[in-house]
């Protein structure tokens, strides 16, 4: 499919999605959000794809936020719909995707950019990356899940400090705070993501997808993570992947999972 603002490429069962608006530091306008949404849905629907790696074009920015030019003159109603549509079409979609998503944070991840990275299941940052939620410096607040996901990842106190100061933290501090899983040289960023992806690819896609559901349930209003775990654990026993995984272990061979 042809896109205007993103590039996609599949290789070795990994889908690479690259946000490609370098002149705007890969800022997210509504069209880009729509294209990303489509690319993620297509990736999940494609059983050959076992991991998705998301990054931004260039060495300066992952994503420098929502596109400020686009929303600068929005009304209250338009602001609400921008946020609600973003949640539904992209940010919540990525978080609940059954296919694991790794954010390769290759530079600035600000505002909606950090919110997008936080929707991904795993984050790896290059050492030049800078992260922050600077929305209050524009008179607005984070609108793509940042108030919730940042607090989940780094705790309430650090989240309020980051949001209220509108400051940026570097990759080392982000690692220390638990906001990113790993920090690498820029030149090794994709390699590190591929290393994680290759470890993921050895395991049952079905079980991974169900484990993501159970983990997410613990953070969702009205859901009980422990109950979801019991359900998903039980459901595993009815899957072909479970039969294959246990048979392979007992037969002392490598499993050949089909994701079913």
Where does this chain touch ligand CAA (CB under 6 A) — which range of 65-73, 187-195, 202-210, 229-237?
Answer: 65-73
- CA–centroid distance for 2 within its chain: 22
115 in catalytic set: yes
Q: Which residues share a beta bridge with 66?
A: 28
Nearer to ligand CAA, 94 or 200 (CB): 94
Structural contact between residues 55 and 14, judged by C-beta atoms closer than 8 angstroms: no
Name which of 39, 40, 36, 17 is nearest 28 in CA terms.
36
Where does this chain touch ligand CAA (CB under 6 A) — which range of 37-45, 143-151, 217-225, 239-247?
Answer: 143-151
- Smallest gap from Cβ 82 to ligand CAA, in A, equals 7
DSSP helix/strand/coil, 183: strand
Nearer to ligand CAA, 44 or 67 (CB): 67
- CA–centroid distance for 127 within its chain: 19
Q: Give the span between the Cα atoms of 93 and 161, in whole angstroms.
A: 27
- Catalytic choice (35, 135, 251, 260): 135
Binding residues among 5-34 for ligand CAA as defined by CB under 6 A: 24-25, 27
Site size toward ligand CAA (CB under 6 A) is 22
DSSP helix/strand/coil, 161: helix
- Asked if 214 is part of the footprint of ligand CAA (rule: CB under 6 A), the reply reads no
- Asked if 144 is part of the footprint of ligand CAA (rule: CB under 6 A), the reply reads yes
- Asked if 56 is part of the footprint of ligand CAA (rule: CB under 6 A), the reply reads no
- Catalytic choice (115, 172, 221, 229): 115
Other Cβ atoms closer than 10 A to 116 = 31
Q: Give the span between the Cα atoms of 216 and 210, in whole angstroms.
A: 10
């880009």: which residue's tokens? 32
Nearer to ligand CAA, 144 or 257 (CB): 144
Instruction: Tell me the angle at which helices 112-119 and 146-154 cross, rounded to the nearest 10 degrees.
Output: 60
- Asked if 110 is part of the footprint of ligand CAA (rule: CB under 6 A), the reply reads yes
Residue 152 buriedness (CB in 10 A; 0-12 / 13-18 / 19+) = middle
Of 50, 108, 169, 213, the residue at the interface with ligand CAA (CB under 6 A) is 108
Where does this chain touch ligand CAA (CB under 6 A) — which range of 39-47, 111-119, 171-179, 212-220?
Answer: 111-119
260 in catalytic set: no
- Smallest gap from Cβ 83 to ligand CAA, in A, equals 6
Report residue 140 as tokens.
């607005």
- Asked if 205 is part of the footprint of ligand CAA (rule: CB under 6 A), the reply reads no
Nearer to ligand CAA, 85 or 195 (CB): 85
DSSP helix/strand/coil, 12: coil
* Active site positions, annotated: 115, 135
Which residues would be at the binding site for ligand CAA (CB under 6 A)? 24-25, 27, 64-69, 108, 110-112, 115, 134-135, 138, 140, 142-144, 146
């Amino acid at each position: 499919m042809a896109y205007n603002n993103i590039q996609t490429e599949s290789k070795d069962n990994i889908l690479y999605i690259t946000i490609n608006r370098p002149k705007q530091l890969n800022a997210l306008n509504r069209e880009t959000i729509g294209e990303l949404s489509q690319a993620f849905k297509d990736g999940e629907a494609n059983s050959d794809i076992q991991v998705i790696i998301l990054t931004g074009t260039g060495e300066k920015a992952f994503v420098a936020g929502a596109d400020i030019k686009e929303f600068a003159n929005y009304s209250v109603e338009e602001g609400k719909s921008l946020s609600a549509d973003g949640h539904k079409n992209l940010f919540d979609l990525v978080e609940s995707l059954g296919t694991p998503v790794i954010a390769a944070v290759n530079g600035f991840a600000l505002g909606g950019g950090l919110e997008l990275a936080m929707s991904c299941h795993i984050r790896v940052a290059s050492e030049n990356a800078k992260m922050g939620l600077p929305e209050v410096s524009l008179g607005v607040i984070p609108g793509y899940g940042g108030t919730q996901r940042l607090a989940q990842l780094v705790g309430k106190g650090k989240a309020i400090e980051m949001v209220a100061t509108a400051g940026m933290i570097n990759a080392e501090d982000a690692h220390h705070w638990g906001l990113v899983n790993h920090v690498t040289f820029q030149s090794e960023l994709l390699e590190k993501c591929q290393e994680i992806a290759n470890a993921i690819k050895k395991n049952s896609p079905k079980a991974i997808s169900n484990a993501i559901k159970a983990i997410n349930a613990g953070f969702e209003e009205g859901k009980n993570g422990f109950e979801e775990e019991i359900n998903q654990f039980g459901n595993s026993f009815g899957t072909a992947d479970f039969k294959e995984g246990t048979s392979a272990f007992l037969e002392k061979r490598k499993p050949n999972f089909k994701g079913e």
